[in-house]
Structure 1
Amino acid sequence: MAKKQSPPSKTKTGTAPPSPAFPIVGIGASAGGLEAFEQFFTHMPANSGIAFVLVQHLDPNRKSMLVELIQRYTRMTVYQVEDHMRIEPNGVYIIPPNRDMKLENQMLYLFEPTAPRGSRLAIDFFFRSLAAEQKERAIGIVLSGTGSDGTLGIQTIKGEGGMVM
């Protein structure tokens, strides 16, 4: 379903390419966040020019159906993230179960969880990378949640001058 894409090219100076010219919105939700996702994407136009990255607390022992469920509510292309996936506008990117994810050089990278289930802060982990990559252009939304996951990431985005909801 998700396409593997080549890594970003280097510029003439050998540095990584600049931040994309389109907004990237990180959206965090707890396992019960499906209704919030439905409301959000039902009202989001398919050609907004925005990339959406969903980080949800998923059961690591079950196959996630989130891609199929979100596809019901949007005409945007919905991907389950694969390691080293380039992010593009008008797409929805969903973290797979039992992974941490970061954004770097317009690419999404997956990692084995750095903490045991129950103490992982996957939303914070991603939001901090979003803030580091996008600076004042970072946008973070927490739709639902339990515990404090997302609060540190939101603070980091705000600290860079980004927008939070």
Structure 2
Amino acid sequence: MAAKKQEQDAKKTRDKNKPAAKKKGTAGKKPKDAPKGAARKRKIDFPIVGLGASAGGLEALEAFFSNMPPDSNIAFVVIQHLSPTHKSIMDSLLSKCTRMKVLGVEDGTKVEPNRVYLNPPDKNVVIINGKLQLLDPVKTGGINLPIDCFFRSMAEELGEKAICIILSGTATDGTLGLKAVKGGGGIAMVQDPDSAKYDGMPRSAISTGIVDFILPGGSFVGKFRGKFRDGGKFRDVP
């Protein structure tokens, strides 16, 4: 029920951001012969990587961004498990590892490539119409699942341009969102549990059997080099 409410809140935000249809003529209407579930026009023309991290994720994030070139034409959104009262210093820590700008997410933040975005401690993040929106946390079984929340919205917004990476952490957050990303044609990567301080999240994701790459924290970057062609599609190229 809680997850359903989160999706309903995201839908309301999405609907609010849609341009109003014209009253006259057929503007805003789907053609009668439009196939059911036809893909809507994407607002984003570059890939976005969503990184989900919990306990023990700092080392993996530092290794990832230390090896990621600053001009990859990719945007990065880091979703962590944070206490509502905790003042994070992740922005200053990651700024030491990358020349990309590291920014905190505010409601309505426009996503740009070669930027790193960090979730705030007291809100969930979704991406709608090319912008990051903030939602009040909705707990499932008494637990907030911010990684699942973002990955699901990323899957709907980006389709095959969505890339999710699950790093060190306890429990299972990210697994359902990873399934959504794969269902939309995106790419799923998971930190090798043997290299993670806490292997709960990685092992849960791997148990789905649909993960594309299982790698140590600093080794993901090699999978990005020379693979984005044809409008951002992820594929091996010579």
- Quick check: TM above 0.5? yes
Which of 72, 75, 98 is equivalent to 2:99? 75
C-alpha separation in 1, matches of 2:63 and 2:142: 27
2:13 is aligned to none
| Structure 2 residue identity aligned to 1:113 | P
2:168 is aligned to 144
**Identity of matched residues, %:** 50
Which of 125, 130, 144 is equivalent to 1:101? 125
- Indicate yes or no: 2:47 matched with 1:23: yes
Say which one has the larger Rg: 2
1:62 is aligned to 86
Q: How many residues align structurally? A: 157
Q: CA RMSD in A?
A: 2.3
Local SS of the residue matching 2:144: coil
CA contact (8 A) 1:9 1:17 kept: no
Q: CA deviation at 1:117?
A: 10
C-alpha separation in 2, matches of 1:116 and 1:157: 20
Structure 1 pair 9–128 and aligned structure 2 pair: CA distance change class (3 A): closer
2:67 is aligned to 43
Local SS of the residue matching 2:103: strand
Gaps of 5+ in 1: 1-7
| Structure 2 residue identity aligned to 1:29 | A
Local SS of the residue matching 2:147: helix
Gaps of 5+ in 2: 1-16, 20-26, 29-39, 190-238
Relative to the length of structure 2, the TM-score reads: 0.61
Deviations 1:87-138 (A, max 9, x none): 0000000001021110010000011211289611100000000000011221
Q: CA deviation at 1:18?
A: 2.9
CA contact (8 A) 1:31 1:58 kept: no
CA contact (8 A) 2:46 2:161 kept: no
Local SS of the residue matching 1:37: helix
> Which structure has more helix as a fraction of its residues?
2
Structure 1 pair 117–60 and aligned structure 2 pair: CA distance change class (3 A): farther
C-alpha separation in 1, matches of 2:181 and 2:83: 27
